[in-house]
Structure 1
Amino acid sequence: MCVKITIFEPMKTMDTSVIISTYNKPEWLALVLYSYSIQSVSNFEIIIADDGSDERTKKLIEHFSTQTKLKVIHVWQEDNGFQKTKILNKAIVASHSDYLIFTDGDCIAREDFVETHLSFRRKNCALSGGYFKLDESVSHKITKEVISKQNCFNKDWLIEQGQPRSFKFNKLTKSKNKAQLLNTLTPTKATFDGMNVSCYKADILAVNGFDERMQYGAEDREVGERMMNNGIKFLQVRYSTICVHLFHERPYKNEEILKKNNAIRKDTKQNKAQFTDFGITKK
């Protein structure tokens, strides 16, 4: 398999590495990358885990790297179906910091996203965030100007654009006290959700990263379950680390693959597995 790693800036010590997975959605990725260029902190690198996108994504990343002072690394592999677990493992290896934030190329980060992840990080813990999902019509109204003004995190602006009213708007709260209360009260279990999660690099390396047998469907949850089996506690921060999810279809969803993934997860749970032989290092 052909793997390419392109580094656009010299390396220095980073507070964190933001790993962004993507596949052939350059129009969404452009908005996501812009959201990281206006973060409240800047001592982090961006690693784009690219599961085989075409030249459009490569050109976008090359252009973005000339417009930002952030360190940008493009990790690419050939397109051979859904292989997100494999490219994420390669991105982990390519990272240069001891703390990792995982997200997707269709999740726009609020300006305090990285800073908040760093402020909540704790030894022997991982942070489990959430996301606010935008309707299709609203997603297409998001521009760099909208992100710059942070309107895509503004309840009133979103409602004006047609986003239905919902309790889920609480996921966009700016109140730290309210966020902490909701983090405590939410019945949602803290898990490894690849759209918004962070952990120490050593903790995910200790379980050998993602299980590369897994394709779409809870492949991120499974690595989190091994981490839990290995003593890592997941902390709920879904109302604190804020991002909005742009709409997209999921043509890669497959029932047979889901059954296979569920069988792997079942084995992980029953055997309290802490390590996979099908991860970063292989027997």
Structure 2
Amino acid sequence: MKSFEASLIISTYNQPKWLEKVLWSCENQTEANFEVIIADDGSKDDTKKLIDTFQKTSKLLIKHVWHEDRGFQKTIILNKAIVASNTDYLIFTDGDCVLRNDFIATHLNNREKGYFLSGGYFKLPMHISELITRQVILDQKCFNIKWLKEKGLKSSFKNNKLSSKGLKTKLLNALTPTKATWNGHNASGWKADIIEANGFDERMQYGGEDRELGERLFNKDIKAKQLRYSAVCVHLYHERGYVTPEMIEKNLKIRAHTKKSKITTTPFGIEKLS
């Protein structure tokens, strides 16, 4: 089997139209030495058919890790994807985040022992999300502020996430008041560190479930590097009808306990999957 530099783990659930765009962006990376693992939280057959097509036609090695739909169980399927990975370095994103062509290279170039990397995303409205075609991704127009404004994007300081280059990018990463956290849509770390933390806490549903892993990494003295303005992806619009106040409250309690008790590993993670 070919040796890869990294595993890109993409979480998805019943969004084949968006996932297709994400996979197009994976094929367009300047750094091609990575495997793709799709962590599928119970999608229907249309997602499987899409992935089957890419597996047959793509230059990328794509694995499909799936379990039955039993509600929001992203943490469980992510742990299964981690177990299925075959590299030392794991990069995480979501199936509604189109990656700029230097996304993988940026994560690999910034990796460092004792750190995880924290990126951000740039939210797009629905009408622009639907305009993104394979050619638009090949031409990188969806990361071009001029093109986006032509399609109706409003002016905002956040536009710097897409337009900054060189020294400006480094300054914005250093000066942003946003704390570097483990963001499920754009984060990476060493597999050994994630395994030692026992992966994601499977009690958690939507709302900070990704950040809680980062908080355990902090507790074991792993630091975070800020890549908010350099590891770039655009987030395609979707509703979040699956979110409930009970989910948020439960997750907040778990995260508070993790911080207060300086917890570094969870008993509700990967270990029992092995």
Q: What range is the shorter-chain TM-score in?
A: over 0.9
In the alignment, which of 203, 208, 214 is matched to residue 224 of structure 1? 214
Contact 2:164 2:229 in 1 (8 A): no
Give how far 1:86 is off. Answer: 0.1
Does 1:248 pair with 2:238?
A: yes
Does 1:192 pair with 2:182?
A: yes
Q: What do you get for the CA RMSD once the two structures are aligned?
A: 1.0
**2:272 match: secondary structure:** coil
Contact 1:47 1:91 in 2 (8 A): yes
Give how far 1:174 is off. Answer: 5.1
CA deviation profile, 1:230-272 (whole Å, cap 9, x unmatched): 1110110110000000000000111011111111001000000
1:145 matched residue in structure 2: 135
1:43 matched residue in structure 2: 33
Give how far 1:215 is off. Answer: 0.4
CA deviation profile, 1:35-82 (whole Å, cap 9, x unmatched): 000100111000000000011010100101122111111000000000
Q: What are the equivalent positions in structure 2 for 1:47-66 lying under 5 Å apart?
A: 47-66=37-56
Structure 1: distance between partners of 2:196 and 2:221 = 11
2:120 matched residue in structure 1: 130
Contact 1:85 1:212 in 2 (8 A): yes
Structure 1: distance between partners of 2:77 and 2:272 = 15
Does 1:26 pair with 2:16?
A: yes
Does 1:121 pair with 2:111?
A: yes
Structure 2: distance between partners of 1:41 and 1:282 = 34
Does 1:172 pair with 2:162?
A: yes
2:148 matched residue in structure 1: 158
Q: TM-score, normalised by structure 2?
A: 0.98
Greater than 3 Å deviation, 4+ residue runs: none
Unaligned runs of at least 5 residues, structure 1:
1-10
**2:188 match: secondary structure:** strand
AA paired with 1:29?
Answer: L
**2:37 match: secondary structure:** strand
Q: How many residues align?
A: 273
AA paired with 2:194?
Answer: I
Q: TM-score, normalised by structure 1?
A: 0.95
Unaligned runs of at least 5 residues, structure 2:
none
Structure 2: distance between partners of 1:245 and 1:86 = 23
2:247 matched residue in structure 1: 257
AA paired with 2:143?
Answer: F
Does 1:276 pair with 2:269?
A: no
